[in-house]
Amino acid sequence: MTITIDSIWILLGIACVLGFGGYVGVYWAIHFILASKNIGFWLADKIIWPLYLKVKAWGQKWTK
């Protein structure tokens, strides 16, 4: 296969599309990671920590 000017532009176009897709994928991956951190902090503050305190208080009530 010989590489002509047209095939170089096609290969360059494919490389640009794949490169841009990789950039967009990394961009959205970072957004999802940040969103999951915020959701994780909310989950810990609103659900897990109060539940832990209730279980701890219940356990202390039964060990007295």
* Phi, psi values for residue 22, rounded to 5°: -65, -40
DSSP state of 9: H
**Predicted TM-score (pTM) of this structure:** 0.45
Domain ranges of the chain: 25-64
pLDDT tens by residue, 16-62:
777 777 777 777 777 777 788 877 788 778 888 888 889 888 888 88
CA distances from 56 to 52, 53, 59, 61, 62 (A): 6, 5, 5, 9, 10
3-state DSSP assignment of residue 23: helix
pLDDT band at residue 64, thresholds of 50, 70 and 90?
low
| Structure token pair of residue 20 | 């841009």
Task: Please tell me whether residue 4 adopts helix, strand or coil conformation.
Answer: coil
